[in-house]
Chains A and B, each alone.
Chain A
C-alpha cells in the first residue's frame, strides 16, 4: 500500500506595524498626547472634526517619520503629501482618516534580522508613512457605544513589510527588531501595554499537493498588541488555512480574495470579522486642507547625523570588535542604554566575555525581577566592570559573582567590598582548604577508591570530589588548589 504524498505547506506573512510616535502633541493639532486623561479632555475643533477646522502638520512627527524611514533603509520621497481615506465609524469623527497613500514619507527599505544560527534574514520594507489615529470606542453599555476622542489625531507611523516572513517566530523577531529600532531612534516609547504598537499580519499559505501549488486567501488579522499574540495568531492561521484548503480546494486566493479576522486572546483562535470597506472603497484622494511637504536641502542630512548607531550595526560591531556572539549581542544591545552600559564597562576594564556572561546570566534576570532593563538598574559601569574583573582574575567564583550581583542590585555597594563582607572571596589558602578536602574524601569513599584504582574513571572521580569541596566551601574554593590538595590527600594511584 502506498500512502498519498503528504501536502507541503509554506507560510507567507507580511506585517503592518503601527507605532505611536513620542510627540508631545497630536499630528495635526496642538492637543497634548497623554495616556489616561479624562475622556474627551484632550480635544479641539481639529481632532473633533468640526467643519472648517484646519489641520496643521506637526514638524516633530514628520522628522520622526523620516528618521525611522531612513533607519529602515527607505528612499525618502522628495515631496510627501496627505490623502483622505474615507470610512464610517463613530471613533473617526471626520468620517475620513488623514493618511498618506500616494506619496508616503519613505519607500523600499529592508530590515536585517539575526537568526539563532548566526545567519541573517532580510525582510523588505515596502513603505513608511504617517497617519492619524482614531479615537476609542467602548462597547460596555448594552444599548450604546461610548466614544473617547482623546486618542483621535495622535501621530502614528505605519510600517509595511513585503511578504517575506516565513514563520511565526520571524514575525515576532521582525516586530521586536522594529521596536528596538524606534526606541534606539527615540521616536517612540513602543510600550505594548499602552497600545503604542499595534501589529497586523497578512497571512496566507502556499500549499503543494499532487505537484501543484495553491495559495490560500490572504487573511489580515487586526489589531494585535503583543508579540506573543502575533506569533500565536500567525501559527494558528497557518494551520487553519492549510486545513481549510485541504478540506475544500476552492479555499484559494483566486476564489476568495482577502479576508479580515480578529484574534480571540482567550480562545487562542482567530474569528471572522464583519466586512468593512474594500480597499478601493476607501476612496483615497489628496487632502485639500493640507499642503505637501518638500524636503529642504540639507534637512535629511541633518536628520541622518542625529541618528545613533542602530541595533543591527551595534550587534555586528560587538561581534567584530569584542567577539560577542550574535545571541548574546541581541540581549546586550536590546536597548540603547544597556548597550552603552556594556561598552562603558568594557572600557572600564571588564573582560568582554565575562561581562557578556554576567549580562546574560545575572543582570538580565535581576533587571527582569526589578521590572526594568539592565541599564534601568542604575548600576555604575565601573562597578559592573569590577565584578567582571574579580571573576576573571579568579578572586571570586561564578557562583560568588552571582551572589555579589544580587547584593549589588539590592544595596548598590561596591563588588569588592561586598565580596569581603559576604565572605565570598576565593579560598586558595591550603590550611583553610585542607579540612574541607579531608571531609569530602571521608564522605565519598567510593569516589576516593575509584580514583586510587586509576584507569578510566579516575579523572571523573577527582572531578566529583573537587565539586564536593567547592560545595563545602560555598563556591569559594580555588578549584586548582582544591584539586592539588585532593591528589596529595588521596595518595598515589594504581595502574
Chain B
C-alpha cells in the first residue's frame, strides 16, 4: 500500500465530522496528504511481533483505587455556572439541540 492510500480525503472528512471540525474546500485532500506520512511512520510498529505481549492500556502499574461512598460538598450551582459562557435560572444555556441526548 502506498503512503497516499493510507488515508483518503473521505476518511479525513469522517474524522473531522466526529471532531465537529468544519473543513474548507480542498482541506480534506491537503490534510490527507500531510497526515498519511505520519501514519506511515507509526505503522513501522506493525513490523514488531507482539503476539506474546499483553495489551498495555496504561503505563502506571496502579490498580484498585477506590473511594468510600460518602458524599463530599459539591461546588453549588453558583460556582458551577460561574465560568459558563451562558446560564439561565440555574441551568447551563446552550444553542438549541434537538431530541434526546444520553447515548449510553
A interface residues, Cβ below 8 angstroms from B? 18, 23-25, 29-32, 38-45, 48, 56-62, 79, 81, 85-92, 97, 99, 131, 133-135, 137-139, 141-149, 156, 158, 222-223, 262, 273-274, 276-277, 281-283, 286, 288, 290-294, 296
Contacts and interface: CB of A to CB of B under 8 A. Distances in A.
Contacts of B96: 139, 141-145
A30 B69 CA distance: 7
Interface stretch (B1-9, B29-37, B38-46, B60-68): B60-68
Interface in B45-101: 57-58, 60, 62-72, 74-77, 80-81, 86, 88-101
B22 interface: no
B74 to A, nearest CB: 5
A89 B102 contact: yes
A282 B81 CA distance: 28
**What 9 A-B pairs are tightest by C-beta distance, nearest first?**
A30-B72, A286-B57, A60-B69, A146-B91, A89-B101, A59-B66, A147-B92, A32-B71, A39-B90
A139 B90 contact: no
Given A97-B104, A291-B64, A138 B69 contact: no
B66 A92 contact: no
Contacts of A39: 77, 89-91
A291 B77 contact: no
B94 A145 contact: yes
B14 to A, nearest CB: 8
Is chain B's interface secondary structure helix, strand, loop, or mixed overall?
A: loop
B48 to A, nearest CB: 20
Nearest to B88: A146
6 contacts: A18-B104, A41-B77, A56-B65, A87-B103, A146-B91, A146-B92
B92 A40 contact: yes
A135 B76 CA distance: 16
Contact of A59 (B18, B68, B101, B103): B68
A133 B91 contact: no
B72 A59 contact: no
A477 B102 CA distance: 63
B69 to A, nearest CB: 4
Nearest to A131: B104
B99 A24 contact: no
A57 B18 contact: no
A149 B97 CA distance: 16
Contacts of B76: 41
Contacts of B95: 144-145
A303 to B, nearest CB: 14
Contacts of B86: 144
A288 B62 CA distance: 11
Contact of A31 (B72, B88, B89, B93): B72
Contacts of B57: 81, 286, 288, 292
B101 A92 contact: yes
Given A90-B97, A139-B96, A286-B58, A40 B67 contact: no
Contact of B91 (A30, A40, A42, A97): A40
A86 B102 CA distance: 11
Given A40-B81, A43-B75, A90-B97, A223 B102 contact: yes
A147 B91 contact: yes
Contact of A57 (B58, B65, B92): B65
Given A38-B90, A144-B88, A286-B57, A59 B104 contact: no
Contacts of A24: 69-71
| Max chain A C-beta neighbours (<10 A), residue from B62, B67, B101 | B101
Contacts of B88: 144, 146
A154 B10 CA distance: 38
A293 B64 contact: yes
Given A138-B91, A146-B93, A293-B63, 16 more contacts: A31-B74, A39-B77, A43-B77, A44-B72, A57-B66, A85-B103, A87-B103, A90-B92, A90-B97, A134-B104, A139-B97, A142-B96, A144-B86, A147-B92, A147-B93, A291-B58
B67 A145 contact: no
| Max chain B C-beta neighbours (<10 A), residue from A38, A144, A274, A286 | A144
A483 B52 CA distance: 88
A180 B62 CA distance: 37
B80 A40 contact: yes
B71 A25 contact: yes
A40 B63 contact: no
B95 to A, nearest CB: 7
Contact of A292 (B63, B81, B97): B63
Nearest to B69: A60
A43 B90 CA distance: 12
A62 B66 contact: yes
Nearest to A200: B104
